[in-house]
A and B are shown apart, each in its own frame.
Chain A
Amino acid sequence: MSIISNSTGSFFTRSLSQMADLRDGIERARTQIATGNRIERGSDDPAAAAQLRSVARRERLAAVEGDNAARLGQDLGSAADEVEAVEALLQRARELAVQAATATTGADGRRAIAFELEQLNEELFSRANGAALTGEPLFAGLSSSTAFTRDALGNVTYVGTPASGAVSVAPGTVIERGLPGNEVFEFNLGGIPSSAFAVLGGLAAALNGGSPDPAGAARAALDGIDTALDTANRAQTILGTRMAWVEQVQQQQADRGIALAERRSRVGDTDIAEAITRLQQSLTALEASQAAFARVSDLTLFRALR
């Protein structure tokens, strides 16, 4: 007689492993809901985990680049403010020069103008050595010491570097940090290197009795002041363009940040609705299978044989 038997041990093992599987699924769904992460470890989904890693790296670097861009914007803003003040200052110097150039201004008047010009030159020097919010010189290029120095005779020299460094604000985008002082305050006047300091200083000295024809000297100085204004204007334009560029980069960074976050969420976040549905489904299945197990395991012949 051949009996197809259903071993009792096999029934219990099978039921147990099935219920363990269900419990496992429930545990997993619960963890996914609790942590919000779909992927607990890399091997859950290797490709998605690799994507998440690259997104995490990009996000980390983007945050730093964002800070760098904000800082760069501030530095450029400070420099632009200084240059704007310098322009106003040069404008005032031009008015004074025009005033001094008219024959009707007397010697006292010229001395007063010379005095004001000296003050303006002083202010110009201090603005040229202006510092950013964090204390770095604005117009010294790569150097961390002052941009301009003045010797005992009052001659002002540029001691910074001829180039200012660049900051990377986005992958593949570097923006120069500012303008070196020689590009803002120094220029060629009739083929001879000169600077705003030399022009103002020279005019003040001429009006102070250094020249036999102060009005002529003032007229001659107008050219220099105009060139100084042009140079400052040019610097202002460059700084303004860079600020606009930084702003554009910041906008892009914000957009990219959102795109990165969306991507991370799509790849790595738990779909709560789906996870809860799955959890509910598994719970129902587990309850049903436990009930079925209890019922079936109760069905032995021994129970019927009492």
Chain B
Amino acid sequence: MPAAIFTIARSGLTASRVSLELTAQNIANAGNADYSRRTLTQGELVMIGSIGINQADGLGGVRPGSIERAESGLVQRQARDAGSALAAAEAEFLAMREAESAIEASGVFTGLVDFEAALTRLEGNPLEPALRLSALESARQMASNFRVANGTLTNTRALVQGEASAEVPSVNELAAQLAEINRDLVGAREGTSGRAALLDARDKALRGLAEQFTISPTINANGTVDVALAGTPSLALVTGAVASSVSVSFAADGTVSFAVGGTAFAPGGGAMAGRGAALDQMAALQIQLDTLAASAISIANTAQGNGVGSDGIPGQPLFSGTGAGDINVVLGSAGGLATAPAGSPAGSRDTGNLTALLGALGADTGPAAGADALLLGLSSRVAALQTRADGLGVVAASAEAELLRDTGVDIDTEAANLVRLQQAFEANSRVIQVATELFDTILGLG
């Protein structure tokens, strides 16, 4: 039956044309990280008819099947989780590195040492006005360094908070997108390009979400996904076509808290958890910095109270304030620095009180040692975070590579497919040509 040759060749042409289209689509999306490569499944078409015991079959060519999307739930999940852990570590690391720069560069430690040095110099000649003035000015410098550190720490905190606030709407947007995708997926027909595109969008949204919060998604048989945010407690974010919304709030000490649909929860991972951890540590840093400033204030003012100035008048407080934010020099004149112990006459070169002040400042429990300990703790923490972020970066990169290997487009494979499909297309055309010639021959017989 020569007519069958036409249908067979036509079906072959259709199948290779659709495959070619998919190959072109794959090549076009080679640079799209969210794209999973597509393939066309094909099935042989055989028609079987039977009348009584006589059975006959006719070949029908090839049937273009469904569009398959390279998919690997496990690898997707690995990439998502690794990305989530990396985002948490990086967010915390970057925030804490900012804090480290803020406190290190503001020169709290240098200010304290300079103050100590100026006082030691004053010990050499306690009545020289120039040395007294330089001691007073270095006290002013130290106070200002504390305020700068406080300001930059506040700034850093505001930046991290701003980042958290800015990312919350995008999380809500992704959740809404997922709900929308779920609704569309229910109606999408199996094996169509539309469905594959929806699944791509679904995986992309999941990855975006996982970067901010660790998620535990449940992928249903029809491709829809229910998303819960992992944490204490775990709360549902997207169920079917319904999405809850995430909100963020900040406490007075700068720490952050999250809520889903009004229920508070602590995220188990993701950049938001990293930011939360960083903000907690910054609150602790703030307390340490304030304690340091308060100890410098109290040591200097106590010493002032125990002595007399160059004019023999009992010393007035050197600093005002209660913490790093409001420490300031209030002593009006350099002559008021109480270098001599109480009871000394005016113009005394006794440095007993100054020596006591120096001893308290330089003691193992003094502010200089405190600042050193604070910096050491902070930089050790940052170094540890960097190591962790580096390690997780390697893990995330290998998971990403694994994912791309499973779902990404390989240009060489596509090029080979292009050649193969082109040949198939040409071969099918040739079959039609042969069929035509066959017909012509048969028609020519008459």
Binding site for B on A (CB under 8 A): 3-10, 13-14, 17, 41-47, 49-50, 53-54, 56-57, 60-61, 63-65, 67-68, 71-72, 134, 136, 141-145, 161, 165-168, 174, 177, 300-302, 305
- Contact of A67 with B124 in the complex, beta carbons under 8 Å: yes
Q: How far is the CA of A300 from the CA of B125 in the complex (A)?
A: 81
Q: B398's closest neighbor in chain A, by CB?
A: A14
- Contact of B397 with A300 in the complex, beta carbons under 8 Å: no
- Contact of B379 with A41 in the complex, beta carbons under 8 Å: yes
- Contact of A49 with B400 in the complex, beta carbons under 8 Å: no
Verify if B263 is at the interface (C-beta below 8 Å from A). Answer: no
Once A49-B375, A165-B349 are accepted as A-B contacts, the answer to whether A5 and B405 lie under 8 Å apart by CB is yes
Residues on A with beta carbons closer than 8 Å to the beta carbon of B345: 143
Q: A132's closest neighbor in chain B, by CB?
A: B125
- Contact of B350 with A165 in the complex, beta carbons under 8 Å: yes
- Contact of A143 with B123 in the complex, beta carbons under 8 Å: no
Interface contacts beyond A10-B400, A13-B400, A46-B379: sample of 12 additional A-B pairs, CB < 8 Å, sorted by A: A6-B412, A7-B404, A10-B404, A13-B404, A41-B97, A42-B382, A46-B383, A71-B124, A143-B349, A165-B126, A165-B352, A168-B355
Question: For chain B, which range describes its interface: under 10, 10 to 19, 20 to 34, or 35 or more residues?
Answer: 35 or more
Residues on A with beta carbons closer than 8 Å to the beta carbon of B31: 9
Once A43-B379, A144-B348, A165-B349 are accepted as A-B contacts, the answer to whether A56 and B113 lie under 8 Å apart by CB is yes
- Contact of A142 with B113 in the complex, beta carbons under 8 Å: no
Residues on A with beta carbons closer than 8 Å to the beta carbon of B404: 7, 9-10, 13
- Contact of B97 with A43 in the complex, beta carbons under 8 Å: yes
Q: How far is the CA of A41 from the CA of B128 in the complex (A)?
A: 38
**Cβ of A202 to closest chain B Cβ, rounded Å:** 31
Q: How far is the CA of A301 from the CA of B109 in the complex (A)?
A: 62
- Contact of B104 with A41 in the complex, beta carbons under 8 Å: yes
Residues on B with beta carbons closer than 8 Å to the beta carbon of A41: 97, 100-101, 104, 379
- Contact of B410 with A60 in the complex, beta carbons under 8 Å: no
Main secondary structure of the interface of B (DSSP, over half): helix
- Contact of A14 with B401 in the complex, beta carbons under 8 Å: yes
Choose, from B16-24, B114-122, B149-157, the stretch at the interface.
B114-122
- Contact of A43 with B372 in the complex, beta carbons under 8 Å: no
**Cβ of A299 to closest chain B Cβ, rounded Å:** 9
Partner of A53, one of B344, B351, B372, B407: B372
Residues on B with beta carbons closer than 8 Å to the beta carbon of A166: 351
Within 8 A of A (CB), among B400-428: 400-401, 404-405, 407-413, 415-416, 418-419
Residues on A with beta carbons closer than 8 Å to the beta carbon of B257: none
Partner of A61, one of B116, B124, B415: B116
Verify if B30 is at the interface (C-beta below 8 Å from A). Answer: yes
